[in-house]
Amino acid sequence: MRVGFIGLGSQGGPMARRIAEGGFETTLWARRAASLEPYADTPAKTAGTPAEMAAASDLVCLCVVGDDDVREVLGGDTGVLAGLAPGGIIAIHSTVHPDTCREIAATAAEKGISVIDAPVSGGGPAVEEGKLLVMVGGDDEVVERCRPVFATYADPIVHLGPLGSGQVTKILNNLLFTANLGAALSTLDLGEALGIPRVRLAEVLNGGSATSKALGSIAMFGGTVEGLAPIAGALLQKDVRHAASIAAAGSVPEGAVFTVADTALTDMDHPR
């Protein structure tokens, strides 16, 4: 399978490298030529436009930031859909609303192109170890065709159901992570009010039974989200909004998890 890849950031870049070095014919595209320079030592080729990249690919992987970014690289005369041949596949690794995936899939189907959603979790270090978590939604046969490519950087690869299932799962994961941030911040605020130094309490909780990935992130930044907010704040806000939209569409009560998540988002808007 020939693979095209767009989105060479801190997570997507290592994914693309693993694919190229895993023996798959790989073509890369990026808005800035400088983004392609780190891959000069790989077997990957480069393309001048998304359409040119797609024309050389059977599978196109997208690891851009959000919904509008996905639409932008797919559409138009130079977009992926203009170049990808019938029978091709688009894998959306970006975390976007499941309705965005369904909208794209409907347009792609008119051209004989399949779409799966495959958001990821774990970050660059997990990619380097081949242990990234991939949450997949889509047709069984299409997912199985993509599995060998995903296996170059991921374990486990979890097929959750039809198109959109991967996005719902990833958004719920990020909602709970945000709520864990909120719960940790509230606990640290309480401890500080009771006279326990914030940094010391974060250190203790991070080493005890109350630990979590969220608490570890807070402890890394001295018991606050000041250092985390510029990295993850806007992305988590996007995903919590998506979670609220999905819950509303399904007439499902939001529950306490949203209330606690709001604590973290408020802190990120106004970090200490």
For residue 99 the two structure tokens come to 């309705």
Q: What's the burial of 188, exposed, middle or buried (CB within 10 Å: 0-12/13-18/19+)? A: buried
In angstroms, the CA 239 to CA 256 distance is 16
Q: Do 244 and 234 form a contact (C-beta atoms < 8 A)?
A: no
In angstroms, the CA 67 to CA 245 distance is 14
170 catalytic residue (yes or no): yes
Q: Do 156 and 147 form a contact (C-beta atoms < 8 A)?
A: no
In angstroms, the CA 205 to CA 19 distance is 38
Host H or E run for residue 107: helix 98-109
33-36: long-range pairs with CB below 8 Å, 24+: 35/8, 36/8
Could you say which of 45, 111, 131, 170 is catalytic? 170
Catalytic site positions = 170
